[in-house]
Each structure stands twice: as C-alpha cells, then as structure tokens.
Amino acid sequence: MSDKNLPSIIENLISPAIREMKAYHVADASGMVKLDAMESPYAWSDTWSDALKQQWLEKMNAAQINRYPDPQGQGIKKRLREKYALNNELDIILGNGSDEIIQIMIMAVAASGQAIMAPAPSFVMYKVIADYVGLPFVRVPLNADFSLNTEAFLKAIEGHQPSIIFLATPNNPTGNVFADDDLEKIIQAAPGLVVLDEAYTAFTDSDQLHWLSRYDHVVVMRTFSKVGLAGLRLGFAIGQQTLLEEFDKLRLPYNINVLTQQSVEFALDNFALLEEHSQNLCAQRAELIDELHALNVFTCVPSEANFVTVRCLEHNAKDLFEALKAQNVLIKCLHGSHPSLEQCLRITVSTQQENATLLSAVKQAIK
C-alpha cells in the first residue's frame, strides 16, 4: 500500500451531498416469491413455439459481441417509429433502462440550477438523480386520493420555475392515472420541460402520446422493464427532435448493448406475445383486488398498473410485511416512505398461482 490517505481523498474530493447519499438498495429475494419490483412473472420464452426459439437463438448467434453495438440502436428506433407512427419532428432516444434517460435529462439541465419537480409520493429516481447533480428537488404533495393537487402544483411552478417536471402516470407507488385536465394545466404552466413517464402503459387504457403533437416541451418516456424484459434494460423517450439532439450529446456511446438491441428488435417483431402477458396480468389484477378487498383488512388504491397498493385498516404494515417475508413472500412496505403512505404496502400482480400464494400468506399473517 502506498502512504496516500484514501479517507482524506474521499473527504476532499467527493462532495458532502454524495457522501451522505445511500446507494440504491435492492432487497435480497433469493428463494422468495418476488412481488416487490413490478417485474413480469412470465419468462417470455415459456410461451414460444420451437420455431420462435430457434429464430431468437439465430439472432443471438449472429450478434457480433466482438464489435461495438450500433451506436444509435437504429433497428429498435425504426420499429418504434413505425409502431407509434411518429412524424419527422419527433425523435426517440434509447436508454439503458428509462432510469438512464432520467439521468441524461437531468444532467442536461443541471447547469441551469433550476429545480426538478415531481408529485409526492412518486418514483424515487427523479429525486435520487436531482440530488446527485446538486439540483434542488421540489415535491408537490398529491391529494388524499392520490390525484394531482393542481392548485398546489401551479403555485409551486410559479415559485420554483422548475427545469423539469416529472409526472408518472400511472404513478408509482400509487398505481392511479392522473386526469388529463390536471395534466394540461401543469403542462401549460410549466416554464421548462414536462416528462410524462408511462412505465406502466401496458396495463392502462390511458395514453399520453397525444400531448406530443400539441406541446413541444413535453417528452413521453416508456420502458420494456414492466412487460417482461427488465433484464435487458431498455427504456426510451419520445420528444421533439431538436431537444433530443441535445440529450443525445450526453448519452454515452454504445449505451445499448448488442444482445439487448437484438432481443428488443425480436420482442417488437413479436409484440403480441408480450401484450398477451400484460392482458393476463390485468385480469389477475382485478381478481387480486377483489380477493384483497374480501379480507376486510385493507383499502385498495384503484390501480392501472401491474401492482396494487393497499392500506392496512387495523394491522401494522411493517409487521405484515415481515410476516409475509417470513413465509417467503416479498412485497414492498411503503410505510415510512411518505406521510400519505402510512400503513401502505405495494404488491406486484403476478400469475394466479403466485397471487394465491400471496393471499394465503396474508390470511396466515392476519389470523
């Protein structure tokens, strides 16, 4: 070892803001029924024909992993452009998960010093990334029913002049969709960008793409993570070409690896299979909500996502979470993460079989 003093290097060079942060924690789920992270329970290939399996293997075989991938992910972008019938003013940016796109967008506005704004509670990465580039983060509390508090939002916009407003709809961790009227008021008042995060688009009839043709400061973001391809890490955003050109300068070259590019192209060419799984989960969601209701110990937030957020009426959420964990069922305890999520738990919707396992574990726990 040299005599350099690493602790003092860390203290001198890494900002207090970063040193005080905690690394994103992922719960250990080995051997558990995993209902904590909105993954699809379906191994996609389980429903493939032999011919389809062969086709995918051929694509994997042909992928040249000794070469850098296509820097723009042209194959994916071309397919998405066609799928959404985008006009020439609109472009697409691909990210290593939509998390990376959130990071790129926030880095792009960092020098402005203008706040990042989002409802509370909402997706945690908006704040995590705002924190690490040193931008103020303004949370605007949702109403008690988790709808947007437009009045509070307009006031906060006026006061903070946010560079980016992130609105996840359906929202995570609440599962509800925000009303068009409320969205439009916020979009109209925004002095900067409005990012509509549609990570759960597969599980709702709502659709935010229509804003793109009316407001050029709107960006719509989606991901393949919640429809069965979380392991590939592929998210994308659609917005004005002139804006995305700027974002593209901050995107690391080759951010989408060659196996992901080939697999997502394949997924888009066979998208009906993924859609079928999402439809199954929507049907399972309705059943799960009914069954949770019937236990008479929860209220359920109306969900248009692949998870259900419930509030315990008399039980302690943390104890219930632990009691499920002891039975090898992992869900997410939201209690303590925000005042409006008091005694709340979030449960990812899964197959009939896994949902039944969850329900019997809950029944055991509340006995």
Residues that bind ligand PLP (CB under 6 A): 38, 97-99, 123, 168, 172, 197, 199, 223, 225, 235
Which is nearer to ligand PLP, 309 or 357 (by Cβ)?
309
**Amino acid (one-letter) located at 251:** R
Least Å distance, CB 76 to ligand PLP, is: 14
Least Å distance, CB 309 to ligand PLP, is: 12
The dihedral formed by the CA atoms of 45, 46, 49 and 51, expressed in degrees to the nearest 10: 30
Least Å distance, CB 360 to ligand PLP, is: 27
Which is nearer to ligand PLP, 183 or 323 (by Cβ)?
183
Which is nearer to ligand PLP, 171 or 357 (by Cβ)?
171
Which is nearer to ligand PLP, 69 or 235 (by Cβ)?
235
Tokens coding 123: 């997706």
Which is nearer to ligand PLP, 301 or 361 (by Cβ)?
301
Least Å distance, CB 174 to ligand PLP, is: 10
Three-class secondary structure assignment of the chain: CCCCCHHHHHHHHCCHHHHHCCCCCCCCCCCCEECCCCCCCCCHHHHCCHHHHHHHHHHHHHCCCCCCCCCCCHHHHHHHHHHCCCCCCEEEEEECCHHHHHHHHHHHHHHHCCCEEEEECCCCHHHHHHHHHCCCEEEEECCCCCCCCHHHHHHHHHHHCCCEEEEECCCCCCCCCCCHHHHHHHHHHCCCEEEEECCCHHHCCCCCHHHHHCCCCEEEEEECHHHCCHHHCCEEEEEEHHHHHHHHCCCCCCCCCHHHHHHHHHHHHCHHHHHHHHHHHHHHHHHHHHHHHHCCCEEECCCCCCEEEEEECCCCHHHHHHHHHHCCEECEECCCCCHHHCCEEEEECCCHHHHHHHHHHHHHHHC
Which is nearer to ligand PLP, 71 or 231 (by Cβ)?
231
Which is nearer to ligand PLP, 95 or 361 (by Cβ)?
95
Least Å distance, CB 185 to ligand PLP, is: 21
Burial class (CB in 10 A: 0-12, 13-18, 19+), 51: exposed
Least Å distance, CB 121 to ligand PLP, is: 11
Find, among 254, 228, 243, the residue nearest to 192 by Cα: 243
Least Å distance, CB 199 to ligand PLP, is: 4
Least Å distance, CB 195 to ligand PLP, is: 10
Task: Give the separation between CA 116 and CA 240, rounded to whole angstroms.
Answer: 20
Which is nearer to ligand PLP, 122 or 284 (by Cβ)?
122
Which is nearer to ligand PLP, 225 or 263 (by Cβ)?
225
Largest CA distance in the chain: 66
Least Å distance, CB 285 to ligand PLP, is: 16
Residue nearest to ligand PLP (CB): 97
Residue with tokens 């008091």: 342
Least Å distance, CB 198 to ligand PLP, is: 8
Which is nearer to ligand PLP, 99 or 304 (by Cβ)?
99
